[in-house]
């Protein structure tokens, strides 16, 4: 199993100077692994505090992207893939049963662009209707202002949901530890990349120990957003389209031989951050290789390699609201698929990392798009029964110190 050397990745880039907007349930800035990483942000639900997260989902995404550990030498807790990126929390859902209306998240996308975010993470989607005009205009606005927009394909095993299916959006599916497509990951010609999304550990202060485990394309989306932040930090002169080009040109099909990119399941392959940072890839055209919406969001143009507009684009428009796209997990995973992403900071001071059992809703019940229950309440004694300031000592099924990623 090929995995990347996190230290080698961070020697090349840690996402410094890049702001990633997390359009979600807010981000808990008090979590020790995120202290100092979370900007003020803005609440779009009318409650007023984007640094409050009653659900845990937004905090989870933020930690996958930019957690830095805590304690002496930051050796406790978890590390995100881009630990020096800043998180701009934009709360569009307050409670777990709230609907995420197009008008609400579209306003957040506009705000993110105006605040200088270089990457926008959209770990939500609608699998049953097309994004309405307001949402399409917001995505077009971001694309025209040189922002990388990343969204999850969806979790019901069907067609790629919206806004991921829109031209120019990096639509991300989920793979498991064997680099195989997760059974619930949505597929279609709009899939751009895949990333780890099964049994992922992340920060979540709604759980008793401050961490939780889940599976879904929400998590894989956050990994790709972090990878985009790494590339934007190292190559600040590249356009958003050129950043996307590096991500798709450096991706791998791993053990899946004979696939032709873009594949309807894996897109251009599994994202490889180290390769995206170090491979000799010409900058190429400035435009987005995945296509782009026009200023009104009503039509699209294809990029040089673009997947183009979705065949679903003729579906009836709807602003009924997109759901968070996460399904519950069952066991701890630190290193997933062909790449190691979340690194437990006690790997050098005797800890094995990884929890025992996990919580989450059953794989059969994604709560998407109506129930909208990305994380249920943790059952007693679920999570991580570790001593304060230490990460749990249960056996970890994946190596703590991955070797350097191969080509």
173 beta partners: 194
Report the run of H or E that residue 215 belongs to, with start and end.
strand 211-215
Report the run of H or E that residue 324 belongs to, with start and end.
strand 323-324
Query: What angle, rounded to 10 degrees, do the helices at 57-66 and 217-234 form?
Result: 40
How would you classify residue 267: left for phi > 0, otherwise alpha for psi between -120 and 50, otherwise beta? left
Q: How many Å apart are CA 77 and CA 197, to the nearest integer?
A: 19
Q: How many Å apart are CA 321 and CA 99, to the nearest integer?
A: 5
Enter the tokens of residue 234: 């190292």
- Residue among 24, 33, 53, 219 flagged as catalytic: 24
Q: In angstroms, how far is CA 160 from the centroid of its own chain?
A: 16
How would you classify residue 369: left for phi > 0, otherwise alpha for psi between -120 and 50, otherwise beta? alpha
Q: Are 198 and 223 in contact (CB under 8 A)?
A: no
Q: Are 79 and 343 in contact (CB under 8 A)?
A: yes
Strand pairing class (19-24; 76-79): unpaired
Phi, psi of 369 (to 5 degrees): -105, 5
Is 24 one of the annotated active-site residues of the chain?
A: yes
Q: In angstroms, how far is CA 107 from the centroid of its own chain?
A: 20
Is 218 one of the annotated active-site residues of the chain?
A: yes
Is 250 one of the annotated active-site residues of the chain?
A: no
- Residue among 63, 129, 218, 275 flagged as catalytic: 218
- Residue among 57, 63, 76, 319 flagged as catalytic: 57
- DSSP state string for 219-284: HHHHHHHHHHHHHHHH-TTS-HHHHHHHHHHS-B-TT-TT--SSBTTTBT-B--HHHHHHS-----
Catalytically active residues, by annotation: 24, 57, 218
């Amino acid at each position: 199993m090929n995995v990347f050397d996190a230290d080698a990745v961070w020697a090349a880039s840690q996402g410094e100077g890049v702001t990633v907007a997390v359009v979600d349930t807010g981000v808990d800035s008090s979590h020790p692994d995120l202290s100092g990483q979370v900007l003020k942000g803005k609440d779009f639900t009318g409650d007023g505090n984007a640094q409050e997260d009653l659900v845990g989902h937004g905090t989870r995404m933020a930690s996958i992207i930019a957690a830095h550990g805590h304690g002496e030498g930051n050796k406790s807790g978890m590390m995100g893939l881009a630990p020096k990126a800043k998180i701009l929390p934009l709360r569009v859902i307050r409670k777990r049963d709230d609907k995420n209306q197009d008008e609400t998240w579209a306003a957040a996308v506009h705000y993110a662009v105006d605040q200088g975010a270089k990457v926008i993470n959209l770990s939500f989607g609608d699998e049953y209707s097309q994004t309405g005009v307001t949402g399409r205009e917001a995505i077009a606005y971001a694309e025209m202002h040189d922002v990388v927009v990343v969204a999850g394909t969806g979790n019901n095993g069907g067609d790629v949901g919206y806004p991921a299916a829109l031209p120019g959006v990096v639509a991300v599916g989920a793979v498991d530890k064997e680099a195989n497509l997760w059974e619930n990951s949505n597929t279609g010609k709009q899939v751009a990349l895949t990333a780890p999304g099964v049994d992922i550990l992340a920060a979540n202060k709604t759980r008793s120990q401050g961490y939780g485990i889940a599976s879904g394309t929400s998590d894989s989306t956050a990994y790709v957003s972090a990878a985009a932040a790494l590339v934007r930090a190292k190559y600040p002169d590249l356009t958003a389209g050129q950043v996307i080009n590096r991500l798709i040109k450096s991706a791998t099909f791993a053990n899946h031989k004979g696939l032709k990119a873009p594949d309807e399941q894996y897109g251009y392959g599994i994202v490889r951050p180290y390769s995206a940072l170090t491979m000799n890839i010409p900058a190429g055209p400035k435009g987005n290789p995945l296509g782009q919406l026009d200023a009104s969001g009503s039509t699209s143009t294809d990029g040089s390699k673009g997947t183009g507009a979705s065949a679903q684009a003729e579906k009836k428009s709807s602003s009924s609201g997109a759901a968070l796209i996460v399904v519950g997990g069952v066991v701890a995973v630190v290193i997933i698929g062909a790449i190691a992403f979340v690194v437990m900071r006690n790997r050098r001071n005797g800890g094995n990392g990884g929890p025992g059992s996990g919580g989450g809703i059953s794989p059969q019940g994604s709560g998407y798009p109506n129930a909208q229950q990305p994380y249920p309440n943790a059952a007693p004694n679920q999570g991580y029964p570790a001593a304060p300031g230490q990460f749990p000592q249960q056996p970890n099924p994946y190596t703590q110190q991955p070797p350097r990623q191969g080509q």
